[in-house]
């Protein structure tokens, strides 16, 4: 266990817990964590995960802006992606993961290329949904963590594997917390609607 692994996990844990609590501060802490994890995964020859961290840095910058100003200049609320969209996204994710895994298998010395690729692709999907403040992002994070825990443990990244197991639990807790927040939002909008009509 290296100092880099400890630092990366500490920073990313803070970021993930903040995301679970629907806090905008998840984004700048996440950027810092991604920089550290990119360095760690490069050392472990998990190249798809290095690419993933680079993506996360850019996506986190966009997500930061989206949460603050993405709803016509106002704070973006929690919403649902819907079953139809998820049914379209999931099979496409599997196909892309398989194709990218094939490339890693044939052209790099990547360890467990298909699992590494699946983590990358479904993390991208989860991050994209999180940037939009979609409830279903936590379902995809749960899937990513389910794959990541055994993969990282197999590379001797035991602290990272342990923390991803904690993130697995956090994804479940965050899903229920966000769903509760979404219900509160809808109740507020329902009450605000008639009040606005009365004011007119």
In sequence order, what are the residues at sequence separation of 6 or more whose Cβ sits closer than 8 angstroms to the Cβ of residue 7?
Answer: 36
Residue 98 is classified by DSSP as: H
> Taking residues 114-134, what's their average pLDDT?
92
List, in order, residues 6 or more apart from 67 with CB less than 8 Å away.
24, 27, 75, 76, 131, 133
| DSSP secondary structure letter of residue 110 | -
As a residue count, the chain comes to 200
Q: How far apart are CA 126 and CA 20, in angstroms?
A: 13
Highest mean pLDDT among 26-40, 49-63, 98-112: 26-40
Question: For residue 192, how many other CB atoms are within 10 A of its CB?
Answer: 10
Q: For the stretch 45-84, what's the b/e string if a residue is b when 16 or more beta carbons lie within 10 angstroms of its beta carbon?
A: ebbbbbbbbebbbebbeebbebbeebeeeeebbbeebeee
**What is the predicted pLDDT for the residue at 25?**
95
Question: What secondary structure letter does DSSP report for 138?
Answer: H
> Using an 8 Å Cβ cutoff, are 133 and 76 in contact?
yes
140-187 pLDDT, tens digit each:
999 999 999 999 999 888 888 998 999 999 999 999 999 999 999 888
Separation of alpha carbons 150 and 159, rounded Å: 12
pTM above 0.85, yes or no: no
- What residues does each domain of the chain span? 3-199
Q: Which residues of 161-190 are buried (b: 16+ CB within 10 A; e: fewer)?
A: bebbbebbebbeebbebbeebbeeeeeeee
Contact 165, 146 (CB under 8 A): no
Q: Could you report the per-residue pLDDT of 60-71, keeping only the tens digit for each?
A: 999 999 999 987
């Amino acid at each position: 266990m290296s100092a880099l692994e400890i630092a990366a996990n500490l920073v990313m844990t803070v970021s993930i817990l903040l995301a679970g609590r629907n806090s905008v501060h998840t984004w700048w802490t996440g950027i810092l964590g991604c920089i550290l994890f990119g360095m760690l995964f490069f050392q472990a020859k998990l190249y798809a995960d290095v690419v993933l961290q680079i993506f996360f840095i850019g996506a986190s910058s966009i997500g930061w802006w989206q949460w603050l100003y993405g709803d016509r200049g106002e704070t973006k609320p929690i919403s649902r992606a819907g079953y139809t969209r998820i049914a379209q996204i999931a099979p496409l994710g599997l196909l892309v993961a398989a194709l990218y895994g094939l490339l890693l298998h044939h052209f790099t010395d990547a360890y467990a290329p298909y699992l590494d690729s699946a983590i990358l692709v479904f993390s991208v999907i989860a991050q994209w949904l999180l940037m939009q403040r979609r409830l279903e992002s936590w379902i995809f994070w749960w899937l990513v963590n389910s794959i990541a825990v055994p993969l990282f443990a197999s590379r001797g990244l035991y602290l990272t594997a342990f923390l991803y197991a904690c993130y697995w639990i956090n994804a479940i807790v965050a899903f229920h917390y966000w769903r509760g927040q979404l219900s509160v939002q809808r109740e507020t909008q329902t009450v605000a609607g008639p009040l606005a009509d009365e004011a007119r």
